[in-house]
A and B are shown apart, each in its own frame.
Chain A
Amino acid sequence: MPLVNFTTREITCKLVYYGPGRCGKTTNLLYVHGRVPEDRRGTMVSLATQSDRTLFFDFLPLELGVISGFTTRFQLYTVPGQVYYNATRRLVLQGADGVVFVADSQARRFDDNLESFQNLQENLLEQGVDIRQLPLVLQYNKQDLPADLILAPPDLDDAFNFRGVPSHPADALHGAGVFETLKTLSGLVLSRLATRPPAA
């Protein structure tokens, strides 16, 4: 659940971008960072290697201001995609209010996507989180690549979206689908704020 502090009237949501290495998670955050007014964004922390591979995680705090009396903050995280950083992924995944699974649309990355998606489910399960209960959005990135190199969104839906969660085609490098994905996930996360049924 999003962290709601009623004493200080603050809402903090932790959103995690998950996916195989080089699928475009950091690119998503960079695009968001580039579109957020300076007074609304914190410093983006990106721990990357010389070859631009995320070593630890990326972190982008967003200050959305006071909404309905609550100071609202979104914290966007990415996980390192490489297989051997699983411990870090688990750490970042802890307490996530929602997850964007960024899939690389290239056909040759299909197995990597599959492996990462299974890894996501396993890591959530280890933390006692049922993926069916967690707000999840699928993003099919790199849809700007030539059609013969990539799988179309319906094909990717067939492969990954058997639970029928929201999915968006994207080109994170140029921004297509980036904010759509973020908006969809935010909506899902915020809708869980008031899940209590009205008084009888």
Chain B
Amino acid sequence: MTDALAAPPDFETFVLDAANRQAAAAARAVADASGVPYAPLVVVGAPGSGKTELLQTIAARIRAQHPTAVVELLDPDRLAERNRSALLVARGELFRAELVTADLVMLDDLERLARHQDCEGLVADLLDERRAAGREVVVATSTPVERLEGLDARLLRRLAEGTTVQLSLPGPDARYAILRRRLHGVDSTLPDEALRAVAEAEFSSMRDYVGALSRLVAFQEATALPLSPRDALVLIGAPVAPVPPAELAAPLRAAAGDEFGEFLFEVSASLTEQVDRWRRAIGEAVLHWGGEGLRTRRLEALLSDEALADPEPVLAAFEADAREILMLAAKAAQLAPDLVGAEVFRDPDQVTAARALVANAGSRTAPLTAPLAHYRWEDFAEGPSMRLPMMAARDIIAEPGQRYSPLVVVGASGTGKTHYLHALGNALIGAGVAHVACLGGHAFVAEVRALQDAESLAAWRHHYRWVGALLLDDLHLLGGDRTAQDELILLIGELTEGRRQMVLTSTQPLQRLEGLDSRLLVRLEGGLSVELPSPDREVRLAVIKRMLADTTARDDAALADYLAARPADSVRAVQGVVQRVLGEAAAQRVAPSPALAREVLEVMELGLSRAARRETARSASGVVSPGMGLVRSPEKIVSRWPNVADRLVAELR
């Protein structure tokens, strides 16, 4: 807010009064370069009288009129630093030349040059050279030139040859205008009377007035309380004339001139001062704790006339609560990052709730069953048949808990449900969801069954109540276990209310799940149910390519195509096929190839099936086809072919 009060300097809005008129006119002449160089122009004014702002206004005007103009506005510290830096890289002369040729050089806080004696000669030379070149220098100092101490005599002579203008503290009207201008553009409800009271208060520098204004604006922003001029003065620590209360006014007037009247007036003044001191202390506390981001309603109530409480214990109690709230907030941030910024940690009136929250957060620190890290979302093979589950997953990762919660993923064994679930969990963690719990139905049932008493049950519930996402594999395993289902129903309710993500997997569609409570099914049906189908060719190909990636057959497209063309009802089956080929290749110490794959998957299977078939054939009257148990034409039964050569060729194939 204080920054917002710092309006850009501008001569058009520069408030003039007798105290700064001459200085402003000279400064404007320098900015417009319309006058004879003052060589140099020396602006003298007490700290906080506006010297720096005047220099900034000159610079801003020149830059507005001549965007390419070079204006150097330095203070002695900055000048010394730049000079030393330039000397270090043997560019001292270049730096000096830059200062000599700049369109305008302004040196603020000249008195501080005494600390940098190595620069005094530079400044004296600069004055000489710029004067010779008809270029202006403006210096500002809080000490008149004749009283400057510790500076080089030549420099002092050059300064004394220039033109000195004074800047004094503006009068109340100008101060009011300046403060009014500072407020321009700031969304403040500060009453005009309060602003006027501030302008009329007694401070030693304009900086103090601006500081007081910032304080009031901050107070207004923090409390939105109406500020009377008297309140404003109390808050900024300005002296306040005792005002006898209305009830006393008449008697005081009647008693004016008598001893009791005077006594009464002094007592009123003393008491009012003490009460104001309380109000000031409370106001400061409101600002302080408001600045810490805490609610200060309790203190604001004290400031209102209706407050019927001793401010001292209330203030002490508030400060104790505020400190505890901050401590609890820090603790909560360590225990549960998702609690950072929670409203309860901003309100000292809610210490009890904050304590409970931190205690609860403590119970959340027990480790959750996290998703297995090796299931990565990017490894999940995607095909046309997976469009719906993949879309649901992407939406969930983008907006956890906002859409499709609970998500029920249905798929036969080996279709990738577990991979999907864990990979989604890891992606949610990557998306910033804290505390992702991922466990199987068996584990869930076992955990619930292990709860011995109400205390452990409460702790367990608390443990899961705060998860950022719950991923439950094999929902069907809860069938028949009423206790586990009851807990899951409660948990779904909690997590749904908290808009946290739930994903569950099942081998059966919800309608065909047996042994599940209808209340649970209703809650699950409230979300989205998607099916993970048998892997299509693209999925199979992706799985195969990933498995071959680390082998010598990584670039063997024919092998991958051959393997992907084989029918498989699950990803696990595809993986099994590839493993068999790779295993055989390793056993034979050859590279995996389509021929080897064909041999492994067709010829060897054929041999195995034939042996099995022989057994079956002996016991059956008909002919059995390989693997399917169906009767086939006798011509297809190689072992019965009459020609040995044909039989051998067929075997070798």
Contact = CB atoms under 8 A, between A and B. Distances in A.
B260 A66 contact: no
B275 A35 contact: no
B266 A199 contact: no
B278 A194 contact: yes
Interface string A168-200: 000000010011001100110011011011111
Name which of A9, A187, A196, A198 has the most chain B CB atoms within 10 A of its CB.
Answer: A198
A183 B251 contact: no
Interface stretch (B94-102, B280-288, B556-564): B280-288
Nearest to A182: B263
A74 B310 CA distance: 20
B284 A198 contact: yes
A147 interface: no
A199 B259 contact: no
A40 B260 contact: yes
Given A65-B251, A186-B267, A200-B288, A6 B309 contact: yes
Name which of A11, A183, A191 has the most chain B CB atoms within 10 A of its CB.
Answer: A183
Contact of B245 (A4, A40, A68, A186): A68
A183 B270 CA distance: 10
B139 to A, nearest CB: 40
Contacts of A36: 260
Contacts of A6: 308-311
A183 B280 CA distance: 25
B264 interface: yes
Contact of B271 (A7, A11, A183, A197): A11
Contacts of B254: 37
Interface residues of B, number: 38
B275 A64 contact: no
Given A187-B266, A199-B281, A37 B275 contact: no
Contact of A183 (B247, B262, B274, B281): B262
A67 B263 CA distance: 13
A74 B311 CA distance: 22
B343 interface: no
B266 A70 contact: no
Contact of B275 (A32, A68, A199): A68
A67 B288 contact: no
Interface in A1-46: 4, 6-7, 9, 11, 32, 35-37, 40
Contacts of B275: 68-70, 193-194
Contacts of A65: 245, 247-248, 251, 264
Nearest to B310: A6
A66 B250 CA distance: 12
B315 interface: yes
A6 B305 CA distance: 12
Given A67-B244, A197-B281, 8 more contacts: A37-B255, A68-B275, A175-B259, A178-B259, A193-B274, A199-B284, A199-B285, A199-B288
21 contacts: A32-B260, A37-B251, A37-B254, A64-B248, A64-B264, A65-B251, A66-B247, A67-B244, A67-B271, A69-B275, A70-B275, A72-B267, A179-B263, A183-B263, A186-B263, A194-B278, A197-B281, A198-B285, A199-B281, A199-B285, A199-B289
Interface of B: 244-245, 247-248, 251, 254-255, 258-260, 262-264, 266-268, 270-272, 274-278, 280-281, 284-285, 288-289, 305, 308-312, 315, 319
